[in-house]
Structure 1
Amino acid sequence: MRRESLRRFWYHFGRNPLSLLGLSVVTLVVVGALGAPWIAPYPEHAGRFVNFAEAGQPPSLHHLLGTDTFGRDLFSRILFGYRISLALGVVVLGIAVPLGVTLGLWAGYIGGGIATWIMRLSDVFVAIPPLVLAMAVLGVAEPSLTNAMMALTLMWWPWYTRMIYNQVRSLRLEGYVVAAQIIGASATHIMFREILPNTLPNILTKAALDMGFVILIGASLSFLGLGVQPPTPDLGTMVAEGARYLPDLWWLAVFPGLAILFVVLGFNLLADGLRDALGEG
């Protein structure tokens, strides 16, 4: 049965060329990031490296995307920057999704006073623009990758709590849930074995979409100097540094910006494909 469901999913997913394009882009980025130490032509340029003799060189066969003001290869640093961006997204969603889903299941099915407090708290977080909330948190903490992860996790879980809460409220009266209650199944069993599987399509679609948003907001924080700090290669930091040399050294800002666009677009297309395939499957 699972094999048939997987075959049906892939059939619907593969019918959309944009879905396959999104999957290809995400796969390319992931492979490039994981293989950066071996793929990057100058992996040593990802750390504390200076070569002023080759500083500010335009794109060439020797340096495909040019070099920065310290003589570091831009292509190599973008590959390593992808590692930071993907790690940020995986950690943030890896914490926010299980936390938000669990709280949403509890609030939607168990209810009570604690559920009311959970939903009111999530309302407060959702009411504040994500970037503003993350900036507020990082404004009182030392700018770093770890603190950026904590700030983004803090602002992301309420969205999943609200989504799952609304779904549970509509699913709790379904026949299979009532049947489980009649035979004496525990609340934990009903929440995680009966209701949760029916919310997975929405969770997976939103997680894929949010992966791009987390990367984008993480790059925005780094652009403002509140995220990953130099000399660690980060796409947002590279755009901020390159913007100071526009238009003369245009490649310093353009190529990292295009790298952000590339990965965010890939996850958006992938999310659209998952939504369509899981909805039809």
Structure 2
Amino acid sequence: MSAKSSSVAWTEFRSNPISILGLILVVFCIALALFADVITPYPEHVGPIGDFTAINQAPSAAHWFGTDTIGRDLLTRIIYGFRLSLLMAVLVLSISMPVGVILGLLAGYLGGWVEFVLMRLTDIFLAIPPLVLAMAIMGFLPATLTNAMLAVTVMWWPWYTRLVYNVVRSEAREGYVLAAEVIGASSPHVMFREILPNCAPAVLTKLTLDIGFVVLMVSSLSFLGLGVQPPTPDLGSMVADGAKYMPDAWWLSIFPALAIMVLVLGFNLLGDGLREAFDAEV
């Protein structure tokens, strides 16, 4: 995008209260994750160590979100759950996004058999529901943090391939691309120096939206017992464990579920704001 169009997009973004709300929620969650070691009241409760004198205590001044079945402070574990969820989302997307973008560029610009092979492979992955594919992969692997990340990464790159492919097919007919080809620019130069910058708004918007979706997917795997394993604090696992004690110890599930909702809602609102500001198709 040009500097002028970027300025206009930022102005539109700031004028949208929903976008600002999303940005505030995202910054709040990231700040909690980054400074968890400092702001959590009971950092020693991250692991298996608990307090058997404070088992299943309801929310109070000492424990704002209550305690779990071995007396660990739930607020502390939720804040560390933010850190784990965001870390997994960043790692998953830092792998799947570049792979999908490169494949989309190749398919959209080169065409021919490259386009046919890459896009049919993409269609195959997109035809399978993401959670089903992740569960199938985890069915053959031990339930660990690394394998959960691998399962989500494998299913996420096709969305970026399809998105960038559509943008490239449109941009390839623009005058600046034809001008670069006329003066003898190489295919890599045209793809990565000319077309790719114009794909950035759509990719950035989808990346922001996908952080929330990845968090939700990872939490779903953990809820089903296929993701992060105890005693690591994970929001999905906490919801699943607390469900056994509903409705008496309602806080065990309600507060982790609300944490997931806030995290996903923040990135969704932020992504929607970016999509409207940049007028991006994702």
Mark the runs of 5 or more structure 1 residues left unpaired by the alignment.
Answer: none
**Alignment partners' CA distance in 2, 1:183 and 1:216:** 47
Of 193-202 and 247-256, the range deviating more from structure 2: 193-202
Partner of 1:113: 113
Partner of 1:182: 182
Deviation sequence 1:103-152 (CA, Å, 0-9, x none): 00001101232331111111111000000000000010011111111111
Partner of 2:49: 49
Partner of 2:18: 18
**Alignment partners' CA distance in 1, 2:128 and 2:88:** 21
- Give, in angstroms, the shift of residue 4 of structure 1: 5.4
Count matched residues. 280
Letter of the structure 2 residue corresponding to residue 262 of structure 1: V
- TM superposition score normalised by structure 2: 0.96
Partner of 2:92: 92
Letter of the structure 2 residue corresponding to residue 141 of structure 1: L
Partner of 1:230: 230
Residues 1-281 of structure 1: pairs in structure 2 closer than 5 A:
7-279=7-279
**Alignment partners' CA distance in 1, 2:110 and 2:198:** 18
Identical aligned residues as a percent:
59
Q: Quick one: structure 1 residues 147 and 172, their matched pair in 2 at CA, closer, same or farther if it must change by over 3 Å?
A: same
Question: Is the contact made by 2:106 and 2:114 (CA closer than 8 Å) also made in structure 1?
Answer: no
What do you get for the CA RMSD once the two structures are aligned? 1.4
3-state SS of paired residue (1:49): coil
- Give, in angstroms, the shift of residue 6 of structure 1: 5.1
3-state SS of paired residue (1:244): helix
- Give, in angstroms, the shift of residue 197 of structure 1: 1.1
Deviation sequence 1:76-110 (CA, Å, 0-9, x none): 00000011100111011111111000000001101
**Alignment partners' CA distance in 2, 1:7 and 1:170:** 24
**Alignment partners' CA distance in 1, 2:143 and 2:157:** 21
- Give, in angstroms, the shift of residue 9 of structure 1: 3.2
**Alignment partners' CA distance in 1, 2:166 and 2:74:** 45
- TM superposition score normalised by structure 1: 0.97
**Alignment partners' CA distance in 2, 1:41 and 1:50:** 13
